[in-house]
Amino acid sequence: MPNFEDIRHFVSCSFFGNNTLPNPRPSLTGKTIIVTGANVGLGFEAAKHLAAFHVSTLILACRDLTKGERAATTIRASNPSTNIQVWPVDLADFSSVTSFCARVQSDLPRLDGIVLNAGVEMSQYEAVEGLERTLTVNVVGTMMMALKVLPKLQESARTYKVDTNLTIIGSLIHVFGPDGQMNVDGRVFEALSDAKTADMPQRYNLSKLILHLCFNELVATTKDGKGEGKPGVVMNLVNPGWCASELSRHRHRPMYERFLFKFMGRTTEEGSRSLVHGVVAGRETHGCYLSECVVKPQSSFVRSAKGKVMQKRLWKELTDCIGNNIPESKL
């Protein structure tokens, strides 16, 4: 449960926080960046900004190719010099993630950054890949893709002697993740995927808490040359804020929530600035949680001794789940 410090950070960010685009604007000429969930919402707005920064190749990774091509056409109209491609991927389908990442490895000469933005917020229970859908998409599918594109990011850093970026979309709402629900005797993901006991009203918050914990362990276990002053992969976790996006399309928003959004909400363009900031940020942000485009502390639970223990427990379960898909030499 959140403590006073967590609540203070939540209020400060929600009512007074502001996302800003990088200034001066970075030049992304010659670089290749992937954005998942790029056909709508935060991903689409972030892709528009990246094209405006003259990224040479922009991959829009989407479940729906028709919507993806429509988004690409819109972005091309203002940025004809950017090579915009639409690639299919569904984070709820592990074979789709595997195929996508294999294509990244084989078809892209370089990869300078990836924004793992795709996610869901479900109101009704549904199981995919043996787990509740929110966990499959927001945690397992997302981390599977992170692990499988990591070798390409590392290769590009070494070859072109530049830092590359892996940006995962976290959320301020992780402070309200019900950490007590993870205190089970058996496997956490399996227990949380029990249709009889799944707490769907709290599931999105919990999925983001789990994602924060898994991100921290990814950073702790990944080795590259940054510690020796060599180019490497900058990994960060960003909070776009509460945005008017299609994320909540699967659930009804009560009146009180719509009322609060008038005071606390952001447009998708405003939220997308945090995604752009993360994927072009320097190594000073490596391993950090960024909110309002600056480094902020994660929740008290994430930073606690109990949180550290749970972090390792979840990571073990996660890597067991996708074990054959992990490039072991990079961990």
| Active-site residue identified among 48, 152, 171, 245 | 171
Q: Are 153 and 166 in contact (CB under 8 A)?
A: yes
Q: What is the C-alpha separation between 326 and 101, in angstroms, rounded?
A: 11
In angstroms, how far is the first alpha carbon of the chain from the final one?
32
Q: Of how many residues is the chain composed? A: 331
Residue in this structure with the two tokens 């990944």, named with its chain if needed: 222
Residue 277: beta bridge partners?
none
78 classed as catalytic = no
CA 136 from chain centre, in angstroms, equals 13
What number of other Cβ atoms are within 10 A of residue 151's Cβ?
17
178 three-class SS: coil
Sequence-ordered alpha helix ranges (H) in the chain:
4-11, 41-52, 65-78, 94-107, 133-135, 142-160, 188-192, 203-221, 255-264, 268-280, 300-303, 305-321
296 classed as catalytic = no
| Active-site residue identified among 48, 193, 204, 226 | 204
Distances (CA, A) of 60 to 138, 175, 196: 18, 30, 37
Q: Which of 212, 211, 219 is nearest to 235 (CA)?
A: 219
204 classed as catalytic = yes
| Active-site residue identified among 48, 208, 226, 245 | 208
Active site amino acids? 171, 204, 208
